[in-house]
Amino acid sequence: MHKRGLSHIEFVVSFVIFIGFLVFAFIFFNPLQSQRTLKSTMDYAWIEVSEEGREDMESYSVSIAPLNPLDLKINIGGVPLGYNASVEDLNGNILATHRDSSGTVYFTRNSAGDNFFKIRYSSAFDDTGPAIPGATDLTGNYAISSSELKEIYFEKLFLELNQSYYSDYVALKQNLNLPSRVEFGFIVTLDNYRITAMNDIPDGIEILSKNDRVEIIRQNGQHEFAEVTVLVW
């Protein structure tokens, strides 16, 4: 009887260990749990990639008094000095623009009859022109009809993110605070080409993606709409 009692206890202990193993396996290898982890990472990756691809932009619609000179300069106060400028005329033409350390913006209009401009400021703009000696100062000869501050996507920022993806993928993941066990990539579909950052995806692996159509500023300063897609696997 003593031996039978020990066998019964061993059976119970073995059964408890077996059940414990099943619970452990269910918690750590549950495909539903894995899917939830991937979904939450997808949402987070979208936020991080989106933030990397956009920047603040201040825009001012400006009308000027009738003037003959084509070379002009203007200083709109209150704009951060770290921002470059981009000037667009009424027809949507992007003009070569320079902003100096004092905040003065220099540009050359195409015609003396062009009296309406949109001046946009952002740290994501490149300086596209030189200072213009002798440019006519517009102080007292312009009026701001409207202004706007918004976050907007820039082709330049996605190109920089693409370069970081391929130059040091591990460091980029760490900077974006993405889990080491999850991989990610992104695609920006523009009017004439795609910016693609994508490592090889193993066959048969689960992939989640999210995409949106967004307004974007091209490197030439033009506005466009693009489709941004972020993937995780």
Which amino acid makes up residue 89? D
Angle between helices 31-53 and 155-167 (to 10 degrees): 130
Q: Return the higher-pLDDT residue of 180 and 217.
A: 217
124, 151, 178: which is the final residue of a domain?
Answer: 151
Instruction: Walk across the sheet containing 54-64 and list its strands.
Output: 94-95, 84-89, 116-122, 54-64, 142-154, 208-217, 223-232, 184-189, 194-197
| Non-local CB neighbours of 18 within 8 Å, separated by 6+ positions | none
d(CA 59, CA 103) in angstroms, rounded, equals 15
Domain that residue 128 falls in: 55-151
pLDDT recorded at residue 37: 77
24 found inside a domain:
no
Q: Where are the alpha helices (DSSP H) in 119-208?
A: 155-167, 169-175
Summarize the confidence of residues 163-186 as an average pLDDT. Answer: 96
Q: How many domains does the chain have?
A: 2
Same domain, yes or no: 134 and 212: no
pLDDT of residue 19 exceeding 90, the answer is no
Same domain, yes or no: 64 and 96: yes
118 found inside a domain:
yes
Q: Mean pLDDT, the chain, as a whole number?
A: 90
84, 119, 151: which is the final residue of a domain?
Answer: 151
Same domain, yes or no: 184 and 141: no
pLDDT recorded at residue 210: 97
| Model pLDDT for residues 130-167, shown as the tens digit of each residue | 999 999 999 999 999 999 999 999 999 999 999 999 99
Reported confidence tier of residue 22, pLDDT bands at 50, 70, 90:
low
Same domain, yes or no: 46 and 62: no
Same domain, yes or no: 160 and 49: yes
Reported confidence tier of residue 32, pLDDT bands at 50, 70, 90:
very low
126, 151, 176: which is the final residue of a domain?
Answer: 151
Q: What is the CA radius of gyration of the chain?
A: 29
Same domain, yes or no: 49 and 159: yes
Reported confidence tier of residue 27, pLDDT bands at 50, 70, 90:
very low
Same domain, yes or no: 144 and 167: no
